[in-house]
Structure 1
């Protein structure tokens, strides 16, 4: 495999969306500064030290102002920014590239066989890796520029629903591979910030349920992870007790209880997020 310590940067452009991420961003940038040929931070008027931190690592910083509609932050950057490299790697500020996946990425982008790659993200929460509960995610976050785009799931998106793509998925026009080494996902923001952010997400999700879904990723029990998760959610969302089912699935069936207090808290939060989305959906239906 390629040695990540080589002086020559890997010809990939890393796109990182931010909003008040001073707690997370240094660890994310530590891993890619000097390794990636280009790092772009797309910020949403941060009021903390996010911008200063990004510029201190030599990243390019641009501002995105969201007033509803489409595109949202990542897709806007993909549409408007003049990237230096053919390959784009999407990362959140709380996601960290470790050496094994950096080597795998450097090798993978040298082939002409694929136009995109699925990456696996391992969750760390409240200082502990969640090894159980079924929380590892596969995301199509590495692709050739111009070959990947975010699906647009519905029209009625406004500024209350977060300015970033939530459960929209990247769709790649071409063959897609899969890399094996994980990316570390570890949020160091407070639970207050976590809950605040997911309150915006539940606004989006409730409106999606209310208006219907026209996304490009089709629900499919036998498809990839994104398709399976969408199929299950479409099946269960109208079932009474869906929030409780969510908690029991992760905490009991997928053995989340083995991750101690952090596992319990995270499983509860997942159920509460489902409850908030369903309650807001009910509110929208009642208004009509």
Structure 2
């Protein structure tokens, strides 16, 4: 039997090749409905032999989807979006499914693994979506957004173990496409016609939650929950889960636990609810109760597909949280044991890598030992993100030469060159290789890393006595709307150059705005072991009017391991400003203990 792919797209030139590459050798037809692309989407689609049909967008995903179904001519229809990718290992399953002549199924649901965050990694959320439709059975979609299938006849549907990666909810994609605004406009229009539509109320709640408005999200979820039907498992299990998350963020502990208990009565196999209970107790440092809940998660195991949302709630995330608990209790051997289990189940779980590396440093493993143990977890699957993660780990421990080695390894993948060049530039700066640092930083294009790369470049030019170049870069920072930071860097340049300089701020309230950029700059200079420059940079503190400067300077010295200097500044803060806090007192206590030892 034959299989055709049906898609609706708009401006998907970055995603479409990955999608079509994943299925081009198993589909017999590609139907692409374009709703108004202005990039090279259409040309890319045609290069894969697709039949491209233009469709005037009418704010209805169901209408566009149904239009694509009407044009399909093959026995089975595969439904994908441009930011989907069929998992390579599951191609044979698709071929078997399409050619199964004994099956009476008309619709197959597949598992969608959605990446979230800044880059594809271990943060994956799961949904079930319609993926395969038998052609000619009268099956259509309804709903202007998050469209659902409707059956005109008595059709059979089944879940199949075929997985698709989804890249559409990565932070950059959501931001670039302004998906939230588009989605909310369509949902609002639907709710005007049917204000009690539980599914649309749920969808609106989800949009508000994505925007960080958890109170408004919970209001919509509660309205949706009024018509709760436990038999609608896929929808209502996620509704319960998202309400629980809102309760947690809003600090409504009692309601959260009650809903967890209620949800488990309806869905006893829903492991993530028990995992959320463990998180509730962990966040409140009730470690014994958290451990009890986590052991239940292990007994329950990973939930059935219909209850899957966050991956690993019956496996690697449980072991990670146990490791985190024992880490907080300073039982590092027990913590290491559980983190090791987590990483053997999921070597790309970033939080576990970071935590286990902390333990290795605490237990004074050599750099070679740490490198060997960490790279062994990846078992040959090292990529750009992995190398940058390893670079971060050693950077945070001031092992700048080791960190630089991994940044260089990341460079060969040529995927995120701006990030890699930024990493290299920063790490060269901290090794005082200023000319080389400038070379890397100059390659960082406008984007997430551009502003910081300019400030690091200014310091490189100052340290190289290239003050005219520093002035040119300072002019660029005027466009960043970071006036306080620009003023701090300009004044530091004047100090280093021997120019006259004036107080940055004599007003006590205004001076507060300069504290963060000044102390960020001081830490950067101290971290680079630029002691002569640091002595001059400290003069910046005399140019603002704030009685917390000595306290903050003491904390900076403490963080960098200069304990005697830290202690002296704390004493000066008490004598001159009569200012100290609990954190500083604890630091002073530890310094005295350290001196006695």
* TM score, norm. by length of structure 1: 0.66
**Structure index of larger Rg:** 2
Aligned pairs for 1:94-113 (under 5 A) are 94-109=83-98, 110-111=100-101, 112-113=103-104
2:2 alignment partner, SS class: strand
Shift of 1:66: 2.3
Q: SS at the partner of 1:136?
A: strand
1:76 matched residue in structure 2: 67
Partners of 1:25 and 1:90 in 2: how far apart?
14
Contact 2:84 2:165 in 1 (8 A): yes
Residue in structure 1 matching 2:148, options 169, 180, 197: 169
| Residues 259 and 19 of structure 1: CA distance in aligned 2, closer, same or farther (over 3 Å) | farther
Structure 1 residues 191 and 174, CA, compared in 2 at 3 Å: closer, same or farther?
Answer: closer
After superposition, the Cα gap between the structure-2 partners of 1:85 and 1:24, relative to the gap in structure 1 and judged at 3 Å, is same
Determine if contact 1:141/1:170 at 8 Å carries over to the other structure. no
Please name the residue that 2:136 is paired with. Answer: 146
The correspondence for 1:44, drawn from 30, 35, 38, is: 35
Partner Cα distance (1:101, 1:92) in 2: 17
Q: Deviations over 1:54-100 (max 9, x none)?
A: 0111111101102457952112222x31x221211100001011233
Pairing 1:193–2:185 present:
no
Aligned to 2:283: none
Shift in Å at residue 34 of structure 1? 2.7
User: Is 2:106 the counterpart of 1:115?
Assistant: yes
Other-structure match for 2:119: 127
Output aligned runs, 1:46-61, within 5 Å.
46-61=37-52
- Name whichever structure is richer in helix by fraction: 2
SS at match of 1:184: strand
8 Å CA contact retained: 2:61, 2:147: no
Q: Which residue of 2 aligns with 1:222?
A: 231
Greater RCO (CA < 8 Å, at least 6 residues apart): 1
What is the CA distance between 1:11 and its match in structure 2? 1.4
2:72 counterpart of 1:91: no
What does residue 14 of structure 1 align with?
5
Residues in 2 aligned to 1:129 and 1:107: alpha-carbon distance in whole angstroms: 29
Q: Would the aligned equivalents of 2:3 and 2:26 in 1 still touch at CA under 8 Å?
A: no
- The number of aligned residues is 229
Shift of 1:131: 4.3
What's the C-alpha RMSD, in Å, of the aligned pairs? 3.7
**TM-score w.r.t. length of structure 2:** 0.34
- Higher fraction of strand: 1
Q: Which runs of 4+ in 1 moved over 4 A?
A: 68-71, 213-219, 241-245, 248-260
